[in-house]
Structure 1
Amino acid sequence: MSSYAPLADELSDSLPFASRTTVGGSTPSATFFSCVANLANTILGSGLLGLPGAFAGAGSLTGTLLLIIAAFGSANGLRLLSLCASKVGYDEPTSFYSVANRAHPSSTTVIDFAVAIKCFGVATSYLIIVADVMVDVMKYFNGDGSMWSERWIWVVVGTSAVTSLSFFKTLDALKFTSAIAIVFVVTLTVVIVIYSTGAINPCDPMVFEEFGDTCKGPTDLTKPFKDTLQKLSTFVFAYTCHQNIFSVCNEISNRTQSAVDRVIATSITVGLVLYLVVAWAGYETFGDNVQSDILKNYPKNALVTTMRIFVALLVIFSYPLQLDPSRRCVTTLVNKIRKGKRDDELIKTDVEGIDEEEINNIEKESLNGVNGSHSDYDSPGEGGRSRIDDLIYMVITVTFLTCSFLLAMVTNDLGIMLAFVGATGSTAVSYILPGGIYLRIFYNEGWTWGRIAAVVQVGAGAIIMPVALYYAMGGGE
């Protein structure tokens, strides 16, 4: 991830990141560790357990190449967005809205909506995972007849657990839960590797009966091209964390491009290494008999049950990392509506006797409201500004949680949800938007490495989205 010429001066450690001491009135204080923990935790979500199954569809060699290519594609998209954030500047907190508004103002509503829906879909998948794994946990302890083996109970419990983590206003506040989640991922990886060595027998007698004469199927380096395309969205989905790069840029204390680059490189590398280990070890253990959720292949014993509990905690800790960017996007949409109403009122107001400076101040405050900062006209009287903004924050958060809960209650097919989210939202957020926004913001850059990387990013997304969506809808069967 080397610097893109000829932006060396612009992307030096002194400009433009370090030239800003505050973001939206607050001093950035997130550490390198905090940023890496949150970004890596956003990456290492539900996709981890599906990668051995993706290898079964693509082959171990092809799967490895796709994981590496997807890692580079994700890192490139993250860096393009961080460069756009630095170009826009940090007088106000950067977001998909702020960079999209600079790139193409008329597209901001669509982009905010797309990011919000994508994050909502991923967050809902986390509640589905909590319910699925905890039902298996309760069946291990109490059998099928227990009340605690009912799926709806664990949707309620999962929603209650994520609610307690969903009202923090910065990702830096979640650094400890993100660090714990990464420990869970590493522990899960170690267990999968131990089973792959044969030190512990991976064959459950009941699973053994399902597969016939062996619990391990054949393994291949490559698979038919059609089978590989059917798993394409899984590899794309694995690295989607781009909605949170703006929080990294806003909150990191050492706000330089090189510091953000190190966060990106470290987070993607952590994800790639853990993904490769889990995918290889899981696929070598069960071959083509590996299921879409690899934990379903393992014996129903205390060790695997503990791993299921870890997975539930992992996605609970990851849930607010999806809620936060979605909430920011919805807040922007709400503020745009509020701004439109204020503009209409301003037009209708008799401005005679109001000097030009006061009118400019009103318009400036209205613009700040759209970009997510506070403004004094939200409610009359001292403290009115905080009350209105906090009310909007609370309503959006509660609405997100409620809708996510209701959808998780009626949906139990995780594979279909992840396939559609990966094919549409993840591809748009990881490939099309970063490249497209960069090309618009740096329109006068010339044919540098930055523009070439952006063109490749958009081109890859334009190919991946229709192909992955076709197979997610059952095409090719």
Structure 2
Amino acid sequence: MLSMKKAEMVRFNISPDEDSSSYSSNSDFNYSYPTKQAALKSHYADVDPENQNFLLESNLGKKKYETDFHPGTTSFGMSVFNLSNAIVGSGILGLSYAMANTGIALFIILLTFVSIFSLYSVHLLLKTANEGGSLLYEQLGHKAFGMVGKLAASGSITMQNIGAMSSYLFIVKYELPLVIKALMNIEDTNGLWYLNGDYLVLLVSLVLILPLSLLRNLGYLGYTSGLSLLCMMFFLIVVICKKFQIPCPMEVSLLLNETVNSTFLPSYLAQNMSMTEGDSCRPRYFIFNSQTVYAVPILTFSFVCHPAVLPIYEELKSRSRRRMMNVSKISFFAMFLMYLLAALFGYLTFYEHVESELLHTYSSVLGADILLLVVRLAVLVAVTLTVPVVIFPIRSSITHLLCAAKDFSWWRHSVITVSILAFTNLLVIFVPTIRDIFGFIGASAAAMLIFILPSAFYIKLVKKESMRSVQKIGALLFLMSGVVVMIGSMALIVLDWVHNASAGGH
């Protein structure tokens, strides 16, 4: 997502929940802070140890309440802000497209269910973390299912992050040529390499992203999460305002096929008002077509924040599971409203003509609109600075899995970084649309992180509840629903790809 947060990189191992609060004043339970000498080796080889807190080696076999812990220092309000940053991302740009292919009513139903399910999975994850004695997603997987669980968690997080990186670079591919065209006032784009999105993605990756990604400590880049959220809020305000400035009916397909100067747009529309009277400007509430299958994956992609939940929980001041759930409820409700407004006003502006990336739809229609130009520039800066932040946990996870016992090597560090960035660039160049990235990652990695892994870890690690308890039965049903969503969505998306390929669509 557009804000793969600093919290995702700084991961911690243990914290007490509300059940342990009664022990804090008990003389039988004396907590002390772990020292550097007693600290375990970092799970991530290239994360600064000064920024982490570790379990003591002697405590690995003990219960959670007997383990030393790092007290949280982040306020409730800042935790809400951090989790909101972790939720909101590039997925917001695809929500209007999802609504255009589901209808308003069906979209709201799906958005409600996905947000509730995501919140429920946070509940499962927090409870599992406390029972399992770890605040590291991969370590929970290892405790639950050994190396298979660790690989499943690490692989899902890596896929999700690569999907997020790809979506950011797709924004560069779509929007940077339009920004350059507007700033240089170029009308004829034929043969100009610097207006080719593929070339610009490679150039930005080599000149800006790669040098920043090679740093061992990204430091200030973690704060781009705040910039990302501000950019998306600005984008939402612009979407709402433009709804009342762009008249309907608008035959976007004609505007995309003809060079229409934005100065003459009102008169052009006035001449063509009769062309799209009727269904074009009438909102629809239930729609089923070949693109409807992308709605759930886009929504799940938009709500993935689970790798960041545990670090935010670790840093929460006066933390308890109940307090963290209140943080989650406020964050999810705020993002629910933000997503709903962005999708609704984007859809009510363009109706069935919405593209898979909403900002590009405005760019195509309004051309060199100053307000949109500012939005595009802000989003481009945010995504460019966020890509190195997303590379960081991917590289760390790969380093830990392949060569955890080895000392740091600049050569290995550089090769892994270049390989990740090269693979992502190939995806962006050869995958036709951002919709395919949203769809595939949402149906696979996002479904794993929201539905399958939290419920599977909960069933395995929470021993105090029997399999016949309401909680375990609910987790089992949640797991089964996740498998159905993942397999069903992936099958339908692949069928759509095959159909489009046979029809010459891809």
TM-score bracket for this pair, using the shorter chain length = 0.7 to 0.9
Shift of 1:217: 4.2
1:149 alignment counterpart: 195
CA change 1:247–1:302 in 2 (3 A) is same
Equivalent runs, 1:217-228 vs 2, <5 Å: 217-224=281-288, 228=292
- Whether 2:93 is the aligned partner of 1:55: answer no
SS at match of 1:222: coil
Shift of 1:273: 1.2
SS at match of 1:231: helix
1:267 alignment counterpart: 331
Shift of 1:269: 2.1
Match 1:186 to one of 220, 230, 233: 233
Equivalent runs, 1:173-322 vs 2, <5 Å: 176-196=223-243, 198-199=244-245, 201=247, 207-209=253-255, 213-214=275-276, 216-224=280-288, 228-298=292-362, 299-300=366-367, 301-320=369-388, 322=390
Match 1:430 to one of 443, 450, 455: 450
Number of aligned positions between the proteins: 417
CA change 1:167–1:243 in 2 (3 A) is farther
SS at match of 2:283: coil
Q: Distance in 1 between matches of 2:403 and 2:417?
A: 15
Deviates further, 389-398 or 413-422: 389-398
Shift of 1:274: 0.8
Q: TM-score, normalised by structure 1?
A: 0.76
Shift of 1:395: 5.4
CA change 1:178–1:116 in 2 (3 A) is same
SS at match of 2:472: helix
Name the aligned partner's letter for residue 96 of structure 1: Y
- Whether 2:456 is the aligned partner of 1:440: answer no
Name the aligned partner's letter for residue 373 of structure 2: T
SS at match of 2:303: coil
2:110 alignment counterpart: 66
Q: Return 5+ residue gaps in structure 1 as ranges.
A: 1-8, 339-377, 379-386
Name the aligned partner's letter for residue 246 of structure 1: L
1:14 alignment counterpart: 21
CA change 1:327–1:269 in 2 (3 A) is farther
2:141 alignment counterpart: 100
Shift of 1:13: 6.1
Shift of 1:251: 3.9
1:468 alignment counterpart: 489
CA RMSD of aligned residues (A): 3.5
Q: Return 5+ residue gaps in structure 2 as ranges.
A: 1-15, 26-30, 35-52, 56-68, 258-271, 500-506
Alpha carbons 1:243, 1:325 under 8 Å: kept:
no
Q: TM-score, normalised by structure 2?
A: 0.72
Give the share of equivalent positions with the same residue, in percent: 21
Alpha carbons 1:43, 1:240 under 8 Å: kept:
yes
Q: Distance in 1 between matches of 2:446 and 2:318?
A: 29
CA change 1:40–1:98 in 2 (3 A) is same
Q: Distance in 1 between matches of 2:333 and 2:246?
A: 29
SS at match of 2:19: coil
Shift of 1:200: 5.1
Shift of 1:100: 0.8
Shift of 1:422: 1.1
